[in-house]
Chains A and B, each alone.
Chain A
Amino acid sequence: MEVSFLINGVSQRVDVDADTPLLWVIRDILDLKGTKFGCGKAACGACTIHIDGEAVRACAYAVKFAEGKSITTIEGLSVGDKLHPVQQAWMEEVVPQCGYCQPGFMMATAALLEKIPQPTDQDIDDNIVNVCRCATYYRMRKAIHRAAAIKQETR
């Protein structure tokens, strides 16, 4: 099946089995490796991307549903050398350890800040539900608050 969509601002057309998870199209065909495979069942959030601005777990999203959509991955979160406020905050708080789950968390956070620009701790608990085995949650919480502040300043 042929599917067309916009990814990180670039038009793409792929010809694959309609039920292929979007994650594998992004990673194996479009060679964007920042979106990670963790579980394949939308349980860990390592593959979180944005589809039309909504945070979506790409491992459980069949490519056929992406027709005509606008997709953003971690590679499209920064613009050139300019980091997204979430990435900037992640740098300033030195959040990543192994780093594998971090793109998913940053994408989930970027989507959260579009909906709730100044999230409370409760908002963070309720909305950021990805899994990090290095357990960098303590710094991530600080980075989410910092990202909100950076975003507010640059507005």
Chain B
Amino acid sequence: MSTENKKKGFSRRKFLTRSAIGLGVILGSGYLSRNLIRRYLAGAINELEPSYQGNTKSPSLWFEITAANEIILHSPKVEMGQGTFTGLAQIAADELEVDISQIQVVHAASASGNLDGLSTGGSTSISGLWQPLRELAATMREMVKQAAAQQMGVDVAELSVNNGVITAAGKSLTYGAVVKEVSEWVVPKTPPLKPIKDYKFVGKPVPRVDLRDKVLGAPIFGMDATMPDMLFGAVVRPPMIGATYAGADTAAAAKMPGVVKIVSEPDFVGVVATSRMAAENAKQAIQANWTTEKSWQTADIEAMIKVGQGTPYVIQKSGNAQRLLAAGEDIITAEFKSPIGAHAQLEPNGAVAFVEGDKATIMISTQVVKLTRGEVAKRLGIAEENVNIQPTFLGGGFGRRLHTPNAVQAAVLSKAVGKPVKCFFDRQEEFQNDTFRPPTHHVLKAKLDADGMIAAIEHNVSSGDVMFGSPMFPALAEPLLGADVGAWRGGMIQYGAIPNYQTISWRVKLPFATSWWRSLGLLANTFAIESFMDELALKAGKDPVEYRLAQIQDDEAGTRLKSVIRAAAEKAGWRDEVVDGRAMGFAASTDAQTPCAQVVEVSIENEEIKVHKVTCAIDPGLAVNPDQVRAQCEGAIIMGLSATMYEQMIVKDSVLYPTIYGPYRMALMRDAPREIDVVILENTGVPGAVGEPPLGPIGAAIANAVFRLTGRRLREMPLAIA
């Protein structure tokens, strides 16, 4: 990331207020200045993730203290595997002065009032709640202590606290006992927080708080949810791209055994039945009509995703790369591509809904509790406050649950029959109605100076939308930003010591839904840029690691990036030579201010790429739970490897394929590296992003190693050498 765009001391919360004020000003300004403002905003957004918009002042919305002296923490962020519940429990336990075993973390129902206006996503849950949750927990502790002092007839200063037990003058009271006697709370001023070195749980590899439930197979997911007297629903979903619902013949379905009601809406048709089988069988019998405009093929999509088409938006600019790269025989150019990617999370989307009069309850795996609530309320024509969203554990998120029309459908079915209804996607519908990772095309250009260093570099990325079209973002942001923030995530040049560089984003609107997929554009953009960096280093005759280090600026971001690059190279024993048929490959990226570098060890076996070992160095600033930081790196590396080497959706006669695991080839046990070595650096003292940044380097690192083994530069995901 560039020094130009670095905005020091630009706090997250300030950004949220300021951008709201800023929009009017910017829209009122002329076109010329708009480009500058765009780049300013692009830079700011690249470094700042909206993280949390909710209550930071009322401990009683967050903590429930039971008579048994247990603390129930109502989390407005959801648990989708990323370990957020564990991190929050650690943070709360330390400031509450309780043992972590006393804390139980649950999903806050929207009716509880502890509601996040944003999403669980963007690797921001721990970083966004780090300050507010510590303050809330410390305040809660002081509230209980003040009440205890009153009850015990002593001064607060005389109290000592340990594991949720308050002691003074030989007497002891548990938090639970104190709380029982209080009818009205006085919220004190936020007390000072403990120094990080005094924390007992933060910074330690505490086991996940949801570990035992998950090992026992406890019924904690959306698909496990039930309500008394519940019926089963099924909805007919569009079978192809661009299909608009145009009515259905439901006569046969209506007569089938177990069918309670056919529900015909202007935009969809569904069925409610007494069992899942009855609902599914009836759905198969519904003859839905669809209108389509044209027949789409993969080649049509590829032709659309092409740098040079549509409107270019310069999102990063330093010096004058455009002039230097305009013409000349010494300009080095390379192209890269990535395909349509599916989320393929194991738990399908769906919901259990119960609509009673003007009230609704929805149990659902969602990453956007408030948005889900708003959509259900709007469709039912009732007040948002009358809709209670009860989030469950998510059987994978990865961005797939940032859209929840499934909640609306379940609610409509429930309203039609006056009973709770459970309604889920089947697997084929998941694959065909996904909100896909958009395909990308990249054109990179560079010119080297006499010493082989980069004099000028330009990255062009063409991508389908990620952020635009999402109900999470105001439509206002579209004309203002021009380029899709999500599409160019990871697309900026992070080598700030290069004198001339720029990044240009080309926006393409595709005929099917594309959206957030864990790390957004990071994987594809890093694949392109870091493969190209490798080519340039080889062309210059330099070691790829040294070559990178020499072109990184000396500010804080640059220093952190250099330190992860050095750490990964050192831990892996980096060497740029093929030994015993194995080659190393190197790549690095910076995402949401978290730098990450990876070294892979690869061989070719039976004409297939085999990744044996990955060394990963990451600097999340501060690791609240080092073991879960490791777990996120391990998972992100293998998920990124899977997307890089195997995954691809195709379009044939407007139908998206494949529609099942297996044909949608993903990394399995046999494909996972046998060794993953994670090095954690903590160079800021404040927790930053973890869940997505380690997805960045893996694709380029593998392709760079393959080049050393085969002499072939693989420029398209999924990588193919046969």
Chain A contact residues, CB within 8 Å of chain B: 16-17, 20, 24, 27-28, 31, 33-41, 43-44, 46, 73-75, 78, 83, 87, 90-91, 94, 96-103, 106, 121, 124-126, 128-141
Residues from chain B with Cβ under 8 Å of A28 in the complex: 232, 275-276
CA distance A135 to B82 in the complex (A): 12
The answer, among A31, A126, A137, for a CB contact under 8 Å with B672, is A137
Of the A-B pairs whose beta carbons lie under 8 Å apart in the complex, a sample of 20, sorted by A's number, is: A24-B275, A33-B224, A41-B427, A41-B660, A96-B208, A96-B214, A97-B81, A98-B345, A99-B221, A100-B347, A102-B215, A133-B346, A133-B398, A134-B396, A135-B638, A135-B642, A136-B634, A137-B669, A137-B672, A138-B638
Verify B660–A34 contact, CB threshold 8 A: no
A91-B394 contact in complex given A40-B426, A135-B667, A137-B667, C-beta closer than 8 Å: no
Verify B207–A125 contact, CB threshold 8 A: no
B217 within 8 A of A: yes
Residue of B nearest to A38 (CB): B346
Residues from chain A with Cβ under 8 Å of B303 in the complex: none
CA distance A25 to B424 in the complex (A): 17
Residues from chain B with Cβ under 8 Å of A98 in the complex: 80-81, 345-347, 393-397
Verify A17–B277 contact, CB threshold 8 A: yes
Residues from chain B with Cβ under 8 Å of A46 in the complex: 346
Residues from chain A with Cβ under 8 Å of B427 in the complex: 38-41, 43
Residues from chain B with Cβ under 8 Å of A141 in the complex: 669, 672, 674
Residues from chain B with Cβ under 8 Å of A33 in the complex: 217, 219, 224
B680 within 8 A of A: no
CA distance A131 to B430 in the complex (A): 15
Verify A94–B674 contact, CB threshold 8 A: no
Against A, the Cβ 8 Å flags (1 = close, 0 = not) of B394-407 are 11111000000000
Among A24, A43, A98, A102, find the residue whose CB has the most chain B CB atoms closer than 10 A. Answer: A98
Verify B672–A94 contact, CB threshold 8 A: no
A138-B673 contact in complex given A97-B82, A97-B631, C-beta closer than 8 Å: yes
Residue of B nearest to A78 (CB): B216
Verify B668–A87 contact, CB threshold 8 A: no
Residues from chain B with Cβ under 8 Å of A139 in the complex: 631, 634
Verify A97–B668 contact, CB threshold 8 A: no
Residue of B nearest to A21 (CB): B277
Verify A91–B396 contact, CB threshold 8 A: no
Verify A99–B81 contact, CB threshold 8 A: yes
A43-B662 contact in complex given A36-B346, A97-B631, A99-B214, C-beta closer than 8 Å: yes
Verify A34–B668 contact, CB threshold 8 A: no
Verify A137–B215 contact, CB threshold 8 A: no
Residues facing A in B620-667 (CB within 8 A) are 627, 631, 634-639, 642, 660-662, 666-667
CA distance A81 to B275 in the complex (A): 33
Residues from chain A with Cβ under 8 Å of B345 in the complex: 98, 100, 133
Verify B639–A135 contact, CB threshold 8 A: yes
CA distance A73 to B456 in the complex (A): 61
Verify A99–B344 contact, CB threshold 8 A: no
| Contacts A24-B276, A94-B208 supplied; 6 other A-B pairs, CB < 8 Å | A24-B275, A34-B216, A129-B670, A132-B346, A134-B396, A134-B639
Verify B672–A103 contact, CB threshold 8 A: no
Verify B669–A140 contact, CB threshold 8 A: yes
Among A33, A87, A135, find the residue whose CB has the most chain B CB atoms closer than 10 A. Answer: A135
The answer, among A20, A91, A131, for a CB contact under 8 Å with B661, is A131
A74-B217 contact in complex given A28-B275, A94-B208, A138-B676, C-beta closer than 8 Å: yes
A86 vs chain B, min Cβ distance (A): 9
CA distance A87 to B210 in the complex (A): 14
A110 vs chain B, min Cβ distance (A): 12
Verify B661–A43 contact, CB threshold 8 A: yes
Residues from chain A with Cβ under 8 Å of B424 in the complex: 37
The answer, among B218, B347, B636, for a CB contact under 8 Å with A34, is B218
Residues facing A in B144-185 (CB within 8 A) are none
Residue of A nearest to B676 (CB): A138
Verify A131–B211 contact, CB threshold 8 A: no
Number of interface residues of B (CB under 8 A): 62
Verify B217–A35 contact, CB threshold 8 A: yes
Among A96, A103, A139, find the residue whose CB has the most chain B CB atoms closer than 10 A. Answer: A96
Please name the 6 residue pairs, one residue from A and one from B, whose CB atoms are nearest each other, closest first: A34-B217, A100-B395, A98-B81, A99-B214, A97-B81, A135-B638
Residue of A nearest to B276 (CB): A24
B348 within 8 A of A: yes
B363 within 8 A of A: no
Residues from chain A with Cβ under 8 Å of B666 in the complex: 131, 133
Residues from chain A with Cβ under 8 Å of B636 in the complex: 135
Residues facing A in B420-450 (CB within 8 A) are 424, 426-427
CA distance A40 to B661 in the complex (A): 10
Verify B347–A136 contact, CB threshold 8 A: no
CA distance A139 to B83 in the complex (A): 15
Residues from chain B with Cβ under 8 Å of A124 in the complex: 669
A63 vs chain B, min Cβ distance (A): 10
Verify B223–A102 contact, CB threshold 8 A: no
CA distance A92 to B351 in the complex (A): 33
Residues from chain A with Cβ under 8 Å of B635 in the complex: 97, 134-136
A21 vs chain B, min Cβ distance (A): 8
B220 vs chain A, min Cβ distance (A): 8
A94-B207 contact in complex given A34-B217, A39-B661, A124-B669, C-beta closer than 8 Å: yes
A140 vs chain B, min Cβ distance (A): 7
Residues facing A in B532-562 (CB within 8 A) are none
Residues from chain B with Cβ under 8 Å of A102 in the complex: 214-215, 217
Residues from chain A with Cβ under 8 Å of B18 in the complex: none
Among A39, A74, A99, A132, find the residue whose CB has the most chain B CB atoms closer than 10 A. Answer: A99
Verify A97–B667 contact, CB threshold 8 A: no
A36-B223 contact in complex given A98-B80, A98-B395, A125-B670, C-beta closer than 8 Å: yes
Verify B346–A101 contact, CB threshold 8 A: yes
The answer, among A96, A128, A131, for a CB contact under 8 Å with B215, is A96
Verify A96–B347 contact, CB threshold 8 A: no
A64 vs chain B, min Cβ distance (A): 13
Residue of B nearest to A98 (CB): B81
CA distance A35 to B219 in the complex (A): 9
CA distance A131 to B218 in the complex (A): 19
CA distance A16 to B221 in the complex (A): 25
Residues from chain A with Cβ under 8 Å of B676 in the complex: 138
Against A, the Cβ 8 Å flags (1 = close, 0 = not) of B264-307 are 00000000000111000000000000000000000000000000
Residues from chain A with Cβ under 8 Å of B223 in the complex: 36-37
Verify B214–A138 contact, CB threshold 8 A: no
Residues from chain A with Cβ under 8 Å of B674 in the complex: 121, 141
CA distance A32 to B28 in the complex (A): 60
Residue of A nearest to B214 (CB): A99
The answer, among A24, A34, A36, A87, for a CB contact under 8 Å with B395, is A36
Residues from chain B with Cβ under 8 Å of A136 in the complex: 631, 634-635
Residues from chain A with Cβ under 8 Å of B275 in the complex: 16, 24, 28
B212 within 8 A of A: yes
Residues from chain B with Cβ under 8 Å of A87 in the complex: 215-216
Residue of A nearest to B219 (CB): A33
A46 vs chain B, min Cβ distance (A): 6
Residues from chain B with Cβ under 8 Å of A140 in the complex: 669
Verify A83–B672 contact, CB threshold 8 A: no
Verify B668–A43 contact, CB threshold 8 A: no
B222 vs chain A, min Cβ distance (A): 10
Residues from chain A with Cβ under 8 Å of B661 in the complex: 38-39, 43-44, 131
CA distance A136 to B673 in the complex (A): 11
Verify A103–B217 contact, CB threshold 8 A: yes
Verify A39–B660 contact, CB threshold 8 A: yes
CA distance A46 to B661 in the complex (A): 12
Residues facing A in B669-709 (CB within 8 A) are 669-674, 676
Residues from chain A with Cβ under 8 Å of B346 in the complex: 36, 38, 44, 46, 98, 100-101, 131-133
